[in-house]
Structure 1
Amino acid sequence: MAIEVGQKLTATVTGIKKFGAFVDLGDDKSGLVHISEISNDYVKDIHDILEVGQKVDVLVTNIAEDGKIALSMKKLEEPTKRSTETVHRPSHQSAPKHSKQSTQDFDAMMNVFLKDSDARLTSLKRNTEGKRGGRGGRRN
C-alpha cells in the first residue's frame, strides 16, 4: 500500500513523547503526529488525549525525502466555534460601527490613563534622581 499526501488512515499509537505521538500505519510504516497537529484546542500534555495502543484517524500532510511521514489529527476535526467565527465571517458584514457614546468613553478612559501615567512617571523620576552618581555626590 503506497501512502500519499492527503490520504486518510487509521493508525495505532505506538509511542508518546513531549513533542508528539508516533503511530503505526501498517506495512512496517510509521509516522509522527506533532503536538500542534493533535487538536484544534491547546494541548498541554499529550497523555491527556492519547494513550499507547489507541486507534486514531490521521491525515497524511507530508512525506519527506528521507521517508518520514508527517500526520495530522486536527485537520480531520470539525473546526471549533471560535475558529469558524474568525475564518468564515461573511464579507457583507462590516466592523461594528462606533457610536459617539463609545468615542466619549474612550476619551474619558484615555484621560484617566494619561493622568495615572504622568503621576507614575513623576514618582519614578523623584525616586531615581537622588540615586544617580554613586559615592561622593555629583560629578562634573
Structure 2
Amino acid sequence: MTLEVGNIVEGTVVNITNFGAFIDLNGKTGLVHISEVADTYVKDIKEFIKEGDKVKVKVLGIDANGKISLSIKQGVAIIPKRTTRPADVEWSGQDRKKSGGSNSFEDIMSKFMKESEEIMSDYKKKQEVRTKNRRS
C-alpha cells in the first residue's frame, strides 16, 4: 500500500522519544506524536509500545519536506464501548414464561414510566425540603 493521507499501514517502531515514536514504513520513517498513541492520557509512551513492535498506523499527513505524521490510535478499529444489552429487560421472552404473565412492550414501558415518576417525585420532595431549609 502506498503512503497517502488517510491510509492505514503497518510499520515497525524503530525509536522512542519522550515526545513520540518513530515508525519505519518500508524504508520511510514517520512520527507518531505522544498524543496519537492512545485514547487515554499517555505519560510514558514506553508503557504502550516498545522498539521492535509492529503497529498499524494511520497516515495523518505528509508535508512538503517529506515528514510523515502518523497516528496509532486512529489506525486501530474502533470497538464499541457497550457490548451488552440492558440487564433489566430479557429480550428472549424467557422471563415471560417464568412470570406467567405477558411482558409486552406496553407493559415494560408502563413499568418504566411508573418507576421514573416515583423517582422524580422523591427527587422533587427532597428539593423542596432543601429549599425550605435554606429559607429558614
Normalising by structure 2, we get a TM-score of 0.59
Return 5+ residue gaps in structure 2 as ranges: 83-115
Give the aligned partner of residue 33 of structure 2. Answer: 34
- In 2, Cα distance between equivalents of 1:65 and 1:111: 68
How far did 1:66 drift?
2.2
* Alignment partner of 1:55 is 2:61: no
Quick check: which has more Rg, 1 or 2?
1
- In 2, Cα distance between equivalents of 1:11 and 1:109: 60
Contact 1:16/1:52 (<8 A) preserved:
yes
How many residues align? The count is 100
Letter in 2 for 1:25: L
Give the aligned partner of residue 66 of structure 1. Answer: 65
Aligned CA-pair RMSD: 2.9
Contact 1:13/1:21 (<8 A) preserved:
yes
Relative to structure 1, the CA distance from residue 13 to residue 103 in structure 2 (aligned partners, 3 Å threshold; closer, same or farther) is same
How far did 1:3 drift?
1.2
Letter in 1 for 2:123: S
- Where 1:65 maps in the other structure, the secondary structure is coil
Letter in 1 for 2:47: D
Consecutive aligned runs of 4 or more in structure 1 exceeding 6 Å deviation: none
Give the aligned partner of residue 105 of structure 1. Answer: 126
- In 1, Cα distance between equivalents of 2:124 and 2:19: 47
Give the aligned partner of residue 25 of structure 1. Answer: 25
Normalising by structure 1, we get a TM-score of 0.58
How far did 1:51 drift?
0.8
Q: How do 1:9-24 and structure 2 match up within 5 A? A: 9-24=9-24
- Where 2:57 maps in the other structure, the secondary structure is strand
